[in-house]
Structure 1
Amino acid sequence: MTRSQRQSLARAEGLWFEDCGLIIQADSTLFRVSRDFLAARSPVFEGMLSLPAPRNADKMDGCPFVRLPDSAQDITVFLKALLYSESFEPYPAPTTFTVIASVLRMSHKYEVDALRKRALAHLSAVHPTKLGRWTRLQTPLFLLPPQPVALEIALLARQTSALWLLPIALYRVCEYTHESDIIVGTNDGQLGPVDQVACVKAIRWLETAGASKILDFLWVPATIMGCFSLPSLRCQTSRMKARIVAETWRESEPGTSALLPLTLWGEADWERLEVCDTCLQAMKGAHAKAKQEIWNKLPELFDLPPWTELERMKAEALR
């Protein structure tokens, strides 16, 4: 390495320890860390560092010198997670998607199981495999803004073989990403051909048959047995008005996405109805059943294994 090349490099803040004997370069950033510490936590680094150094191997300040193909950001976050426990605490400690993504990419690549499990636990908490957990889920801050992050999470799940994240990750891609971006990609990446085709097919079903199924409770059956409003037809009229309004929510402007079935009718929307208790309970039951059926279908929509198999994968990965 020439003197001018060395002068263009910067030491990573908080990750340069003078008493340690390994120097790593990622992009134009240098890290000086303990060779033994890194090898003890990563089988990949252990294997890499155990190889005899060639006679002409690069050195810096008398230390072994390793160039990594990873981004400086990923390596910075990864090493901080290894060295400073407070920089990446277990779920439900607050964090950001940037941190989760860097930790997961690097811990998967370098086989640091403890950090990989921790990162997957953060993502799994907001990509549930049970409808009940989805219903109670509050959108975490690290999922915002939704469009690019949804796409990046789907790419990350594929890259790290975390398939149980994909039904919800791809559902969010369908919800927040226009079809052209699904096919062409964005600055955050491009889905693989399998996921591209699956998402385009899923959008068609979710916006048509799926949306109709989730709203059927508003007019099927036309008369609910035991309705207290007969013969005034107050309940039927209220249900029909609500269905007409809900139909407009399925529409989308060019370049935007329509509401999809799992969010098309929310808890607050029940207040739109002026119906008797019998009709209300019957409709809530029909809506819950339709929502469960759509949830059960999500893995199939995206050409993934069924929920039971995905849950098995999740349990094994997080064990």
Structure 2
Amino acid sequence: MADSDMGELAPSSSMDRRDPDLYIEDGNIVLSAKDNENNTVYFRVHKSTLVKNSPEAFGNMFSVPTPPNMDQYDGVPLVQMPDDAKSLRDFLTILYDPQCIATILKAEDFPKMLRPVELARKYQVDWICKLVASQLQSSWPDSLFQWNIVAREEGDIRAWDAYRTEAPEGDMDEPRGLRCLPEPVSSIILARQCDVPAILPVAFLHLLRFPSEIYDYNEVFPWQIPERSLLSQQDWARLVLARERITRWFTQEGPQPWKDCGTSGMQCQVITLTTWLNIAQEVAVDGNILKLYGRQVKGDICDKCKQKLEDRFYHLSVQFFRNLKHFFQLDE
């Protein structure tokens, strides 16, 4: 309840509390926010820190003289924030310890940046969004060459995981320098919030190729588990339509009969068509035509037809990468 003379607020619930790390004794303002159980969390901070990072939002807020009847808490002005306590805590932590954002971004732990970025945009703390944008651009491949480097490293990780399950304990050191792509859904959300549209096509492709029934680390798919619950209905539909669009395109690009076969044309054509149909079945599942890059043709097929088919794989991979925006309808 509020004291009619002083405007001092007393805790309204036994579960209301002061944040253990962000209740600074010499702070000159208290921000309060509700947690997910509707209890109030109090953050005692410095106006100067807020204004330095947000001259527009917080600067304008504090430029207005404090009214005499303003609510107070613990002897300083109290501002009741509309944000949830967890988001506010993550946001304030970065303002007071900017180095922590470097640690998060270096680890490509983009889900941890969703709440801070949301408040950074709301309160116009531009440097947070710029740092996230820069890391997103560095973390996601922007060329077929870079994608293939990551794909090879994923293959090395699979091989190491497979060996580790059978090798004696301590017989093999963990591979160093190998990396997988970041969690895709948080990357997609942050890319839109921080204006990095260039990463969206590869982020959606990475999400598309991840089996929906996998919810934990898997040796075959050594990637961060997607935060699927955060994906919008529109983007769910985007994935479904993209898979159909990619499958249809690949099927239409199938090999046509040719006459310049080095040996038995019919035998080579049968193997070629069988190979194509098998790949089409894989594409219908994961939509990832880029795995054709460098793929070798197996079977009793002449060298000329083998080379022709492998060249076709290469050119389709290049064409597919160039048109990712179209397949995911990101060029509208």
**Which TM-score applies when normalising by structure 2?**
0.68
Q: Mark the structure with the bigger radius of gyration.
A: 2
2:188 aligns with one of 151, 154, 157: 154
1:35 aligns with one of 47, 64, 72: 47
Contact preservation (8 Å) 1:78, 1:107:
yes
**Structure 2 match to 1:5:** 12
**Structure 2 match to 1:20:** 27
2:315 aligns with one of 268, 281, 289: 289
1:261 aligns with one of 280, 288, 292: 288
Alignment of 1:198-213 (within 5 A): 198-210=238-250, 212-213=252-253
Shift of 1:40: 0.6
Cα separation, partners in 2 of 1:50 and 1:271, compared to 1, 3 Å: farther
Contact preservation (8 Å) 2:33, 2:84:
yes
**Structure 2 match to 1:98:** 111
Can you list the C-alpha shifts for 1:263-283, whole angstroms capped at 9, x where unaligned?
55365x537566676655544
Can you list the C-alpha shifts for 1:25-60, whole angstroms capped at 9, x where unaligned?
222322121110111111322222222233322211
Aligned partner of residue 18 in structure 1, secondary structure: coil
Contact preservation (8 Å) 1:91, 1:118:
no
Cα separation, partners in 2 of 1:3 and 1:201, compared to 1, 3 Å: same
2:97 aligns with one of 64, 81, 84: 84
**Structure 2 match to 1:166:** 200
Cα separation, partners in 2 of 1:266 and 1:26, compared to 1, 3 Å: farther
Q: Say how many residue pairs are matched.
A: 277
**Structure 2 match to 1:69:** 82
Deviates more, 1:195-204 or 1:47-56: 195-204
Cα separation, partners in 2 of 1:69 and 1:263, compared to 1, 3 Å: farther
Cα separation, partners in 2 of 1:282 and 1:51, compared to 1, 3 Å: farther
Report the Cα distance in structure 2 between the residues aligned to 1:117 and 1:211, rounded to whole angstroms. Answer: 41
Can you list the C-alpha shifts for 1:238-265, whole angstroms capped at 9, x where unaligned?
54443243233244xxxxxx11034553
Cα separation, partners in 2 of 1:18 and 1:238, compared to 1, 3 Å: same
Deviates more, 1:39-48 or 1:294-303: 294-303
Report the Cα distance in structure 1 between the residues aligned to 2:81 and 2:299, rounded to whole angstroms. Answer: 60
Report the Cα distance in structure 1 between the residues aligned to 2:107 and 2:128, rounded to whole angstroms. Answer: 16
Shift of 1:220: 4.6
Deviates more, 1:123-132 or 1:288-297: 123-132
Contact preservation (8 Å) 2:297, 2:310:
no
Cα separation, partners in 2 of 1:206 and 1:112, compared to 1, 3 Å: same
Amino acid at match of 2:288: P
Amino acid at match of 1:202: A
**Structure 2 match to 1:190:** 232
Cα separation, partners in 2 of 1:20 and 1:99, compared to 1, 3 Å: same
Shift of 1:97: 2.5
Report the Cα distance in structure 2 between the residues aligned to 1:49 and 1:177, rounded to whole angstroms. Answer: 50
Aligned partner of residue 88 in structure 1, secondary structure: helix
Contact preservation (8 Å) 2:16, 2:41:
yes
Shift of 1:63: 1.5
**Structure 2 match to 1:125:** 138
Report the Cα distance in structure 1 between the residues aligned to 2:195 and 2:330, rounded to whole angstroms. Answer: 12
Aligned partner of residue 136 in structure 1, secondary structure: helix
Shift of 1:158: 3.7
Could you tell me which runs of 5 or more consecutive residues in structure 1 were left unpaired when the two chains were aligned. 144-148, 179-185, 252-257, 307-319
- Which protein has the bigger helix share? 1
Cα separation, partners in 2 of 1:87 and 1:129, compared to 1, 3 Å: same
Shift of 1:211: 5.7
**Which TM-score applies when normalising by structure 1?**
0.70
Can you list the C-alpha shifts for 1:96-120, whole angstroms capped at 9, x where unaligned?
2322222322222222222111112
Amino acid at match of 1:39: V
Amino acid at match of 1:261: N
Cα separation, partners in 2 of 1:211 and 1:22, compared to 1, 3 Å: farther
Report the Cα distance in structure 2 between the residues aligned to 1:300 and 1:113, rounded to whole angstroms. Answer: 31
Report the Cα distance in structure 2 between the residues aligned to 1:100 and 1:271, rounded to whole angstroms. Answer: 44
Could you tell me which runs of 5 or more consecutive residues in structure 2 were left unpaired when the two chains were aligned. 2-8, 35-39, 155-178, 213-227
Identity %: 22
